[in-house]
Structure 1
């Protein structure tokens, strides 16, 4: 019997594209490759800002694959493309802020037993068995954002805290959630996912760094982000 694989949904395509682009940038950054260091420096300027405000970032956030039509899939409509582009912009610019001056990759995949979703990452900032009110409030405020611009600004505040604590986040997963957020009823869906991730995380889920270079690569201290 031939198994037919369903084509990726628009959300899955956004998540896969974000993860692929960020993984490539992360490897380059940790290897101190000048093009990646410069790209992240430019992307950081867009963190928390609307996608259209900085046209010079358009070349860095390549949405070309979204315009292609994979086998068995349909072309994305205009409204889908706009939402996908905005989700990618928020995810990549937040990642660039998160990675600044960090010696290990701040983008890491969410896996069973190794949660890296937004809720779990926020919970990791707290003392095991306790809920830090101010930190939890930031997650709640993000969940109550009325539009993507406000959401991006509130996520930026969370990312600054995650960066300070060297806590990783799955930016592919986040990009897909940001895409879903923009549709009617999507915010409720994403809030539930963040809440489930937050409450399901336990210290034993922290896991260890895997052997593959995408998550465990490190680089010596440098002043490459000084500018």
Structure 2
């Protein structure tokens, strides 16, 4: 089995949205991997929101851990709704991604961002045209709901291949995507990560390669909770 480093690229620290999402996922993920009934039930409910508008999912109120985003002074004026939408999308996509993976984490802080994860889907590092087209569709999404739907399609592929993401980073990127000039900036980041990714089986070893992530094995379990 090949053990792969998450991603050697240096990044800025997460912002308030990314930290809020990462902290909340960390607790849920631990409970899920420990087979705690409350965490399993919460994640089963949260993943039903993947690709759907938040206003259509009142059942998720109180489950997403976004309360810190509403603290006075935490975000700039008018930014709270954008932050909450970004957190909602990231959390629901992670819950879908984690489904049935009961040994390894599908949220890995400092791990793959979207572009490198998509490139890792491509066998032998050859361009896979159907996967590339899905990635392009996500990058060219005209609005946030379309972006969430198209990311859901990609996350289903990542779940199948047991490739994790850094969902804190994704949340920050979704937040930035909604701001002036943000779409171009995030498209550039995703494209750069896609082109810069190198298969660790063929890339020269570095000191960073000694740190394994949690995406080597998995077991499958049925855990849908009605």
1:18-63 CA distance string (max 9 Å, x none): 1111111111101000111001100111000111111120211122
- 1:201 aligns to 2:204 (yes or no): no
Per the normalisation by structure 2, the TM-score is 0.84
Aligned to 1:94: 93
User: 1:127 is matched with which residue?
Assistant: 123
1:177 Cα deviation (Å)?
0.3
Identify the residue that residue 157 of structure 1 maps to in structure 2. Answer: 153
Once structures 1 and 2 are overlaid, which stretch shifts more, 91-100 or 52-61?
52-61
**Is the CA contact 1:119–1:196 (under 8 Å) kept in the aligned structure 2?**
yes
Mapped partners of 1:165, 1:150: distance in 2: 24
Q: In the TM superposition, what is the alpha-carbon distance from 1:68 to its structure 2 partner?
A: 2.5
Given candidates 173, 179, 182, the residue that maps to 1:177 is 173
1:44-101 CA deviation, whole Å, 9 max, x = no partner? 11000111111120211122212225xxxx4424520000000010000000100100
Alpha-carbon distance, 1:192 to partner? 0.4
Q: Is the 8 A contact 2:100 2:219 kept in 1?
A: no
Distance change (3 Å), C-alpha of 1:75 and 1:163: closer
Deviation sequence 1:122-166 (CA, Å, 0-9, x none): 000112331111101111100000111000000000000000101
Inter-partner Cα distance in structure 2 for 1:178 and 1:78: 18
Equivalent positions of 1:34-49 (< 5 A) are 34-49=37-52
SS at match of 1:197: helix
Unmatched runs of 5 consecutive residues or more in structure 2: 1-11
Measured on the aligned residues, the alpha-carbon RMSD in Å equals 2.5
Local SS of the residue matching 1:79:
coil
Residue of structure 2 equivalent to 1:143: 139
- Pairs aligned (count): 208
Query: 3-state DSSP class of the match of 1:38?
Result: helix
- Compute the TM-score of the two structures, normalised by the length of structure 1: 0.84
Aligned to 1:5: none
Q: Say whether the 8 Å CA contact 2:41–2:225 is kept in structure 1.
A: no
Check 1:129–1:54 CA distance in 2 against 1; reply closer, same or farther (3 A cut). closer
> Is the 8 Å Cα contact of residues 101 and 219 (structure 2) preserved in structure 1?
no
Provide the residue aligned with 2:107 in structure 1. 107
Measure the CA separation in 1 of the matches of 2:115 and 2:209. 16
Question: Structure 1 residues 82, 218: closer, same or farther in 2, change over 3 A?
Answer: same
